[in-house]
Structure 1
Amino acid sequence: MTKEITNDAINNYTQDLAKHAGINIASHAAQENGIFKASQNTQTKIDLDPTFSIEIDTGKPADQKQSGRCWMFSALNTMRHPLQKEYKVKDFELSQNFTNFWDKFEKSNWFFENVIATAEQPLGDRKVAFLFATPQQDGGQWDMLCGLIQKYGIVPKTVYPETANATNSSALNDTLNTLLRKDGLELRDLVNAGKSEEAIQTRKNEMLNDVFRILAVSLGVPPTKFDFEYKDDDGNYHRDAAITPKEFFDKYVGMNLEDHVSTINAPTSDKPYHKVFSVEYLGNVVGGRQVRHLNLKIAEMKELIIKQLKAGEVVWFGSNVGKDSDRQLGLLDTNIYKRDELFDIDFSMSKADMLDSGESMMDHAMVITGVDLVNDKPTKWKIENSWGVKPGFKGYFVMSDSWFDSFVYQAVINKKFLPDDLKNAFDEGSKDPIQLLPWDPMGALAFK
């Protein structure tokens, strides 16, 4: 039986206000300055001083601008750092637009293939509705970037630079999604009309031709061969002629992508630790690398990250950057806002409850480049972001260890740092990973 809100109840709520100490001061502060400024904790600025006991110099942060390609920028940052050092090219960048082009092209084919596979299900089916809700977008995860590079390689940013539609992607995304939804409905009709697989694939190929044209006009045609020319920091000239994107990756980046494992921290009851998970419909390259996550305890994840940092290797990670953070100050801390004190209300939730209720999930990828250890325990972490050099400490952020516990969900670890039991757990679990539903929080894409 439903119950309406009565006038007596509202009178009781109003009278209850007077019982909370400092309510008038809190009201003035919140109404004049907004909730976050009124509840901001100045101690966070002191606690998160950007000084670290272990720190890797990675140079000037990149800038994804008005696009949701943080996962690409962060992944390519982990690849360019060793290249910068080895070849003495300060602030060198790999082309984020190159992976962007092929990601959108492959995601279109991924969408078409999933539409064909579910064509006999009604449009109101939750999985079908999920596919059509966002046929493609800027966001992604680590394994998806690896799949692109394994198929297409990579090029320097100077060879395939950013365009207006790469740095501000809203119009391109809208245009592509309109076309994909229209074509997706046609593919469903062809399947349900009993057309042959050959006829359906022929029509799909014509649709992909239209997608390629949109991308080529908006982003440019990606190079298949190019001349790599540069001057190193000592002023020496270098030229590598007629190199392919895959040859460039193998020669100049040389990262063994199969050795890098996606670990997650999902302390929910449906995800046992040390098991490997994948997510239905999560991916981009049909026939390419599958998304696989090894679920770890938060202490295990931290230990592995610290090992990797001590060895001089940075760490790609995914988190919920919109929670308890100040973009301009570059601070990530669970104590940065004292909303519980401002309103005299307990807002606390466990990490598992936040995931299960949709309160939190991964939305942004960055790079861990340092950590401050006190008595061998981490207190704060140095973060390379991809929002340019204006926010934070010249583009770098500082993350408290408590924020790590609450809002870090994914970290990519080099297999050589995994103990044998976790290495075996990943290898065995990857043969038949546990499939999660498409809308599971571990399938969330980094897009901010």
Structure 2
Amino acid sequence: MTSQTNPGTLDSATLAGFREAFESQPSHQLMQNVVTQHDVNDVALDRNIVAAATHTFSNVLDDWGVTNQARSGRCWMFAGLNLFRAESKNLLNVKEFEFSQSYVMFWDKIERANYILEAVIETADRPIDDRVVAWLLHQPLGDGGQWDMFVSLMKKHGVVPKAVMPETESSSNSARMNASLNYQVRQGARNIRQMFTKEGGLVAMRQAKEEALRSIYQILCIHLGNPPTDFDWQWKDKDGEFHRDARMTPLEFAEKYIATPMEEYVCLVHDPRQSSPPGRTYTVQYLGNVVDGERIKYLNVDIDLMKDIAMRMLLDGKPVWMGCDTGKQMHRDKGLWDADLFDYANVYNAEFAMDKAERLEYHQTAMTHAMLFTGVDVVDGKPRRWRVENSWDDKVGDKGFFLMNDSWFAEYMFEIAAPKSYLPEALQQALDLEPIVLPPWDPMGSLAD
């Protein structure tokens, strides 16, 4: 009996055709010889772009060194704290200053655990393989985040100087800590769902949640140290003058030394998909970290408007918090982004033709990293390139600062935080619209890490 061949089978004739096509082109053999011996990015790198990429800008704000998130995904809080320190160091009259990233990390973890477990309670009537439940449990306590989540933490818990709660091995290398935290969240989710199955009621489910949070709090204290409830603050300024500010709580410190008006800032995104019309607000279901915190809300704007607002903020002396897909068309050591930096199409003799909307739809791009714009090179009123403060230490780029050509901005930039007043009046009014709710797995719900 002759078996029927599945028309979807990758048969030997097709594979033989692939081999013949590859071997018929001498350039394929040449590329094979080179790429098997060298990093493909070294082969695909456009030297003309590299040669033209000088780290000079018509407007630069930074006169400080970069920070280092090390082996953690805290870029979004590093970028937020770096935004604040630009003005805080002037208030303190110091050359260098850092807020404690460990302190913010501690409160993000415990608040996010509570947020996720509340969502588990809300979805306890769904089957365990429900897509939303699966999404909640996939990576509940990762390090990533975004602007509104950062603001929620600042408003509820304040901030402290780095000297008050310094880095630990686990804050700088979070994988092992996160593994234990994720275990406790998932175990807590199991207990909550068991209470639901036993018809224990909301009180019993919340008790199971509290027991999980108690263990999570203990793990965080062991890995990061106890977050201070108050502290003595004293320092010597860059003129050698000594200052003492008595005992302060983290909220009091934030009130006195954070000059950036975070309550005036809104999230602007560029989502060019046809399903996401510009001029509308969006939120993402179950995206957040503080139950009683800021609601995640984006306003979708044209990319040229986003560029214009970022440029105007920099010209007004304001660094810009931003989120992008950092790994695409990037040379880490040179600290360089350009939309055409690597010519993969000619290396592979293959098409790389998806536009930004298609890359979003087919999961080829998303916001992966947050940083700070600290400069811009303006020619004839238009931005030509952007200076970026990264949080990858000072061993890469221009002592840790990167150069982003404007071509890259259009293709891989997704979000900035900007004062509402920089928007046209019509878009300021659009911020009051009830946001369209995107599902938890939508790419615009991705978190920068």
Q: TM-score range by the shorter chain?
A: over 0.9
Q: 2:118 aligns with which of 110, 113, 119?
A: 113
| Residue in 2 that maps onto 1:170 | 175
Picking from 430, 440, 443, the partner of 1:438 is 440
Q: Is the 8 A contact 2:87 2:260 kept in 1?
A: no
1:23 deviates by 2.7
- Return the alpha-carbon distance in structure 1 between the equivalents of residues 289 and 142 of structure 2: 11
When the two structures are aligned, how many residues end up with a matched partner? 444
Quote the offset at 1:110 in angstroms. 0.7
Say whether 1:241 aligns with 2:246: yes
Check whether the contact 1:20–1:344 (CA below 8 A) recurs between aligned residues.
Answer: no
* 2:43 aligned partner: 38
1:18 Cα offset (Å): 4.9
Could you tell me how far 1:21 is from its partner in structure 2? 5.6
Query: Counterparts of 1:186 and 1:130 in 2: how far apart (Å)?
Result: 18
Moved runs in structure 1, 4+ residues, more than 4 A? none
Q: 1:61 Cα shift?
A: 0.4
Of the structure 1 ranges 199-208 and 351-360, higher mean CA displacement relative to structure 2 is found in 199-208
Equivalent residues in 2 for 1:360-399, closer than 5 Å: 360-399=365-404
Classify 1:198/1:9 alpha carbon distance in 2 versus 1 (closer, same or farther; 3 Å): closer
**1:226 partnered with 2:228:** no
Deviation at 1:201, TM superposition (A): 2.0
Structure 1 residue identity aligned to 2:171: A
Equivalent residue, structure 1, for 2:410: 405
Q: Which runs of 5+ in 2 are unaligned?
A: 1-5
- Is 1:250 aligned to 2:255, yes or no? yes
Structure 2 equivalent of residue 61 of structure 1: 66
Aligned partner of 2:3 in structure 1 is none
| CA displacement at 1:198 relative to structure 2 | 2.3
Could you list the per-position Cα deviations for residues 22-72 of structure 1 after superposition, in whole angstroms to 9, with x for gaps in the alignment?
333222111110321211111121222111112112410000000000000
- Matched AA of 2:96: D
**Amino acid in the other structure paired with 2:332:** R
Residue 333 of structure 2, aligned match among 316, 328, 337: 328
- How many angstroms apart in 1 are the aligned matches of 2:99 and 2:246? 17
Paired residue type of 2:235: Y
Please say if 1:274 is aligned against 2:287.
no
- Higher mean Cα deviation, 181-190 or 201-210? 201-210
Answer whether contact 2:62 2:374 (CA < 8 A) is retained: yes
Q: 1:29-428 residue pairs with structure 2 within 5 A?
A: 29-426=34-431, 428=432
Q: Is the 8 A contact 1:58 1:81 kept in 2?
A: no
CA contact (8 A) 2:367 2:414 kept: yes
Range with greater deviation from structure 2 (1-10 or 297-306): 1-10
Distance in 2, Cα, partners of 1:2 & 1:187: 47
Secondary structure of the residue aligned to 1:294 is strand
Measure how far apart 1:397 and its partner are: 0.5
Residues of 1 paired with 2:97 and 2:395: CA distance? 19
Does the 8 Å contact 1:58/1:369 carry over to 2? Answer: no
8 Å Cα contact 1:328/1:392 also seen in 2? yes
SS in 2 for 1:32: coil
Q: 1:277-312: CA deviations, max 9, x gaps?
A: 010010000111111100001001001111100100
CA apart distance, 1:19: 4.9
Q: Which of 166-175 and 203-212 deviates more? A: 203-212
Report SS of the residue matched to 2:36. helix
What residue identity is the alignment partner of 1:280? Answer: Q
Secondary structure of the corresponding residue to residue 368 of structure 1:
strand
More displaced stretch, 169-178 vs 199-208: 199-208
Following the alignment from structure 1 to structure 2, what is the Cα–Cα distance between the partners of residues 19 and 12? 10
For residue 322 of structure 1, what is the amino acid of its counterpart? Answer: G
Q: Is the 8 Å Cα contact of residues 332 and 403 (structure 1) preserved in structure 2?
A: yes
Residue identity in the other structure for 2:294: R
User: AA paired with 2:123?
Assistant: T
Amino-acid identity (%): 37
Deviation sequence 1:229-267 (CA, Å, 0-9, x none): 111111111111111111111111133222001100000
Distance 1:346 1:170 in 2: 37
TM-score (norm 1): 0.97
AA paired with 1:40?
A: L
Deviation at 1:7, TM superposition (A): 2.9
Q: Answer whether contact 1:372 1:381 (CA < 8 A) is retained.
A: yes
Q: Any idea what the Cα deviations from partners look like across 1:144-192, whole Å, max 9, x if unmatched? A: 0100110010010011111111000001100011111111101011122
